Amino acid sequence: MKRNKLNYNSKIKDIYANPIGHDVLYKLLLQLNKSEKLVTNPIIKNLSLKTVVSLTQKSLGTEFFDVLLELLNSEGEYPRTAQKGTKPTWWKEAVFYQIYPRSFMDSDGDGIGDIKGIISKLDYLKELGVDAIWLSPIYDSPNDDNGYDIRDYYDIMSEFGTMEDFERLLAEVHKRGMKLIMDLVVNHTSDEHTWFQEVIKKPESKYKEYYLFQKSKDENPPNNWTSFFSGTAWNYYKELDEWALHLFSKKQMDLNWDNENVRKDIQKMIRWWLTKGVDGFRLDVINYISKREGLPWGNKTVGELMGYYGIENYYYGPNLHKYLREIRAEAFEPFQAFSVGETPGVGMEMSKLLTADYRQELDMVFSFDHLETPGHVRFDDYQYDLNYLKEYLIHWMEHYGDACWMSLFYENHDNPRMISKVNNNPAFREPLAKLLAMIQLTLKGTPFIFQGQEIGSVNKTFQSINDLRDVESINLYKELIEKSSAENAFQKILSGSRDHARTPMQWNNKKNAGFTEGSPWIGTDEDYREWNVEKQLENGDSVLNFYKHLIQLRKEHKALTYGEFEAVNKKKKDRFTYYRKWEKEEFFIECNLSNSTLRRSSKAVGYELILSNYSEPAKELRPYEANLYKV
Ligand code: TEU
């Protein structure tokens, strides 16, 4: 459906009805920790943009609104409403498991996880009930960002093994009836990729057009865009007297997707892997690939609000849909390959335009608005409020629509552990781990479990900055110590470091948690002695067995995958209760989102209790109690 362009006479309600307008305002409200009512109340929603500008000019500036309108009008399409019926496919029924290869299992004692290590654990994953594996990058890379900086798309990182090892892995995965998806990192390549190296050697090379080089008028970078890993997003190259764009580390150079040759080369590479038999891809920061022409300066207000400058020029760029459709048609479609896009900053309405089945772009996306409670960012030291997660999930369950399918996750290799974010009191670790599992595995969508989540992993007690390895943490630390004490800087890093998720998988209570015979590339702490796979496999009540049980139930009962979702007592704080219904089958899920006791829901009386994170019955609903009933 097409709509009219928005302008200064448009009303707030028109802006909120525009898919990007909706998601931008929603995100803004989150960032400012304000209720949605702020834009939906009758007075405000009828204000014209003109009036809003005059009211907020001082704080936001007028240019902010020009930028906003340009962004909003760049999307001519609106999601269709009311398509009824979900089309069944394997990936809607699957439970995915993300492996971060560097930290999963080391087979050769060099302290770095590898492909043979993964193969040795496939039976474990099968036992757990995993249907599909997402492998973080295993391509040849100098590892500035642990493989997210690819040097050669057609080769395997030597620390991880060989192409033969990979082929064996794929065959072993398939032999067990599972699927394998790879990470596709194509917003950027390593600066050590031959394309980039060619340019440095030969400025007149055709590969210059593969990247985003620009001249600058003076000694400063061409624009004010900042990198997600601190500082300017530009590197200066003396050989060329030009700058090249990198949204991430200094060694991750952004590709120029407006160059058709780049797109063709990438599509060719994707087909090459699909010909080998991989089942699909997780597409790294795929919503960043299309940059606004001329790479305009980032708006100051947006930059201050988001913490990054320039983002409005590329997080939902003008050709994004076109490029995604091309990839789909030229590479994915002929192989029936599955795709899930990593799309930071994209909310629900934009996600619809990226994933609705009639649009032929992606199958699913990872949206991230639920990973921090409103008003907070990852590096804040605060306690995550599960009431917000509930609100977010209900919103998506009720409005994402039958043409779209949601990804369900709390963790990945870029985020601290969810249990630690919610409550780091060890007394609650086990019930909380199970509560999170209950929610993730009984909702509508495809669950993605991140390695270690299934044994209730928590954040590590890193002692100093020397214990950390991640380029983001290290760069941010350097930036912070310019302005504050080393101790404060380290505290901030500890709250948000991605390394919490990257310590070795805890297999047993032996040396290095059974991860390696050598010395691990990143350490673990004493935690593994009590919290490890081996121990949990032996204990019927463990977090691991709870996951296993839930996954099994999900497979046995269609109600838990395709079933209708119906929330009950939505407004009741600390309580998350809902039904899943499919034909004659009905389940009721009752969760206590707090660390205090609550009155038990009267609804559950007479229902059959199938699974609970507490073994003894009790009158009250105990801290983080989670129950699954058959109605
Ligand atoms: O992450 C992209 C991303 O925007 C973030 O999740 C990122 O980790 C961080 O929060 C930025 O502040 C993807 C990958 O998952 C991540 O590991 C890579 O470092 C990044 O892209 C670059 O490839």
Q: Which residue's CA is the closest to the ligand 1 atom numbered 11? A: 228
- Tell me which residue has its CA closest to atom 14 in ligand 1: 284
Cα separation values, 622 from 341, 567, 619, Å:
38, 21, 9
CA of 145 to the centre of ligand 1 (A): 9
Identify the pLDDT of residue 2.
61
Is 125 touching ligand 1 by the criterion CB < 6 Å? Answer: no
**CB burial of residue 238 (10 Å; 0-12, 13-18, 19+):** exposed
Model pLDDT, residue 55:
87
Alpha-carbon torsion 353, 355, 358, 361, what sign?
positive
Which mutation among 135, 148, 230, 289 tests ligand 1's pocket best, with the greatest number of atoms within 8 A of CB?
148
* Catalytic annotation, residues: 284, 342
The 3-class secondary structure across 286-297, one letter per residue, is: HHHCCCCCCCCC
Residue 248 Cβ contacting ligand 1 at under 6 Å: yes
d(CA 412, CA 450): 5
Among 228, 247, 407, 413, say which to mutate for ligand 1: greatest number of ligand atoms within 8 Å of CB: 228
- Cβ of 148 less than 6 Å from ligand 1: yes
pLDDT of residue 379: 96
In DSSP terms, which residues pair with 627 in a beta bridge? 590, 612
AA letter at 111: G
Report the distance separating Cα 522 and Cα 578, nearest Å.
41
What is the CA(552)–ligand 1 centre distance, in A? 32
What does the pLDDT look like over 388-423, one tens digit per residue?
A: 999 999 999 999 999 999 999 999 999 999 999 999
Conformational region of residue 574, where left means phi above 0, alpha means psi within -120 to 50, and beta covers everything else: left
- Residue 288 Cα to ligand 1 midpoint, Å, equals 11
Write out the DSSP string of 4-29: PPP-TT-BHHHHHHSHHHHHHHHHHH
Report the greatest alpha carbon distance in the chain: 76
Ligand 1 center–CA 472 separation, angstroms: 9
Taking a C-beta distance cutoff of 8 angstroms, is the pair 400, 351 a contact?
A: yes
**444 close to 563: Cβ distance less than 8 angstroms:** yes
**Alpha helices, DSSP H, located in 82-237:** 90-93, 115-120, 122-128, 163-175, 194-201
Q: How far is the CA of 246 from the centre of ligand 1 (A)?
A: 13
Which of 439, 448, 454, 444 lies closest to 593, judged by CA? 439
Could you tell me whether strands 626-630 and 608-612 are parallel, antiparallel, or unpaired per DSSP bridges?
A: antiparallel
pLDDT of residue 33: 79
256, 472, 627 from 544: Cα distances, Å: 44, 31, 17
The pLDDT value recorded for residue 513 is: 98
Residue nearest to atom 20 of ligand 1 (CA): 148
CA dist., res. 626 & res. 631, Å (int): 16
| pLDDT at 539 (0 to 100) | 98
State how far the alpha carbon of 537 is from the alpha carbons of 85, 433, 448, 507, 530, in Å.
39, 16, 21, 10, 12
The whole-angstrom separation of Cα 113 and Cα 520 is: 9
pTM, to two decimals = 0.97
d(CA 559, CA 93): 11
* Cα separation values, 81 from 78, 132, 283, 365, Å: 9, 31, 27, 19
Question: Is 368 touching ligand 1 by the criterion CB < 6 Å?
Answer: no
Residues with pLDDT less than 70, the chain = 1-2, 82
Q: Whose CA is nearest to atom 4 of ligand 1?
A: 344
Q: What pLDDT sits at residue 76?
A: 80
The region that residue 303 occupies, defined by phi over 0 for left and psi between -120 and 50 for alpha, beta otherwise, is: alpha
Distance (Å) from CA 58 to ligand 1 centroid? 34
